[in-house]
C-alpha cells in the first residue's frame, strides 16, 4: 500500500513539474510572423539580444498580407511585422479583428518599376500599369502615379482613393489591380508596375536604383505608411513585447537597415 501511495505521489510530482516546466518554456518563447524580406531579416538581427534577456524569438515567414493577421488574431502568433498601420486598420474593419500597433519601425518607399517600357516618358497611350489591389496600397500607388504626372486623383479621396477617383487620365492608362505579392511577376506583361517595398526586395529590386519613380522618405506617405510591429489589443504591456520593441529600435538594427538596404528600407526611429 505504501509503495503504491509513494508511486502515485511521485507520478503526481513529475506531472506537475512537467506542466510547470512547459509553462515556463512557453512564456519565454516569442513567435512573430513576418514577410521574408526585409522584416524577417531584420528580426533575425534581434534574436541574440532577446536571447540575452531570456526570450527565444521564433520567426514564421508569410508571403501574403492576410494570413499573418489571421494567425495573430487566433493567437498562433504573438506579434507580426509586415504591414503599415492603414492596412492594419482597414483589415480590422473588414475582418472584425482587434490588432494594434506596438511600435513603428521602418518605411519602404513604394516604387514604379519598368516592365515593357524602361522610362516614364515611354509610357504610351493605352498603356497598362499594375497596382496593388488592397485598399490602402492601391490609393498609395495611384497617388504615386499622380506625382509622376501620369494621372490626376480626386484630392478628397486621399489615402482611400480607387480607380473610380481618377479624374484625369490623358494617356488612357489601363489600371490593372492585382494582389501585391503578384506584381513583380507581372512586369513582363505590363508597361510598368507599382510595387510594395518588401515584394520589390524579394524580386531583387532596389527602389533607389531600379525604380522609375518612388515615394520620398520625407513625404506624408512615409509618415503614414511606416511599417509597424502589430499585436493583439490588450498585449501592449507584455514584457516580451516591450523587449522586442526595444531590440528593434536599437542602434544595431538601425545600422543594419541602413547598410543592408541602402535606401530601399528606411529606419524611422
What CA–CA distance (Å, rounded) separates 51 from 34? 19
Shared-domain flag, residues 153 and 123: yes
What's this model's pTM, rounded to 2 decimal places?
A: 0.76
Check residue 12 and give its pLDDT.
45
| Boundary of a domain, candidates 214, 241, 256 | 214
Check residue 6 and give its pLDDT.
43
Residue 42: which CATH number?
3.40.190.10
Shared-domain flag, residues 134 and 194: yes
Note whether residue 16 is domain-resident.
no
Check residue 218 and give its pLDDT.
76
Shared-domain flag, residues 60 and 119: no
**Strand ranges inside 77-214, DSSP E:** 79-84, 99-107, 111-114, 128-132, 152-153, 166-168, 174-178, 192-195, 213-214
Shared-domain flag, residues 166 and 153: yes
Rg (CA), the chain: 23
Note whether residue 74 is domain-resident.
yes
Shared-domain flag, residues 203 and 116: yes
Q: Which domain holds residue 203?
A: 111-214
Specify the number of domains making up the chain.
Answer: 2
Note whether residue 77 is domain-resident.
yes
Note whether residue 220 is domain-resident.
no
The low-confidence residues of the chain, meaning pLDDT below 70, are 1-27
Shared-domain flag, residues 194 and 244: no
What CA–CA distance (Å, rounded) separates 108 from 207? 9
Check residue 190 and give its pLDDT.
98
Check residue 9 and give its pLDDT.
41
Count CB neighbours of 249 within 10 A: 17
Check residue 136 and give its pLDDT.
84
Note whether residue 12 is domain-resident.
no
130-183 pLDDT per residue, tens: 999 998 899 999 999 999 999 999 999 988 899 999 999 999 999 999 999 999
Note whether residue 219 is domain-resident.
no
Amino acid at each position: 500500500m505504501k509503495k503504491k501511495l509513494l508511486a502515485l505521489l511521485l507520478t503526481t510530482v513529475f506531472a506537475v513539474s512537467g506542466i510547470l516546466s512547459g509553462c515556463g518554456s512557453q512564456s519565454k518563447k516569442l513567435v512573430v510572423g513576418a514577410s521574408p524580406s526585409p522584416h524577417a531579416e531584420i528580426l533575425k538581427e534581434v534574436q541574440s539580444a532577446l536571447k540575452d534577456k531570456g526570450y527565444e524569438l521564433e520567426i514564421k515567414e508569410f508571403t501574403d498580407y492576410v494570413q499573418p493577421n489571421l494567425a495573430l488574431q487566433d493567437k498562433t502568433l504573438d506579434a507580426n511585422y509586415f504591414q503599415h498601420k492603414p492596412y492594419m486598420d482597414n483589415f480590422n474593419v473588414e475582418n472584425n479583428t482587434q490588432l494594434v500597433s506596438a511600435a513603428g519601425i521602418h518605411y519602404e518607399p513604394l516604387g514604379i518599376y519598368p516592365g515593357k517600357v524602361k522610362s516614364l516618358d515611354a509610357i504610351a497611350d493605352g498603356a497598362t500599369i499594375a497596382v496593388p489591389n488592397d485598399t490602402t496600397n492601391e490609393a498609395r500607388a495611384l497617388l504615386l502615379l499622380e506625382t509622376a504626372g501620369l494621372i490626376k486623383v480626386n484630392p478628397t479621396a486621399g489615402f482611400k482613393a480607387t480607380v473610380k477617383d481618377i479624374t484625369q487620365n490623358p494617356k488612357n492608362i489601363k489600371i490593372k489591380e492585382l494582389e501585391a505579392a503578384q506584381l513583380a511577376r507581372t512586369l513582363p506583361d505590363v508597361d510598368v508596375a507599382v510595387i510594395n517595398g518588401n515584394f520589390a526586395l524579394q524580386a531583387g529590386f532596389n527602389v533607389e536604383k531600379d525604380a522609375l519613380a518612388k515615394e520620398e522618405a520625407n513625404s506624408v506617405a512615409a509618415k503614414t505608411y511606416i511599417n509597424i510591429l502589430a499585436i493583439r489589443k490588450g498585449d501592449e504591456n507584455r514584457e516580451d513585447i516591450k523587449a522586442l520593441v526595444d531590440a528593434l529600435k536599437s542602434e544595431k538594427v538601425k545600422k543594419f537597415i541602413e547598410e543592408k538596404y541602402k535606401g530601399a528600407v528606411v529606419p524611422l526611429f
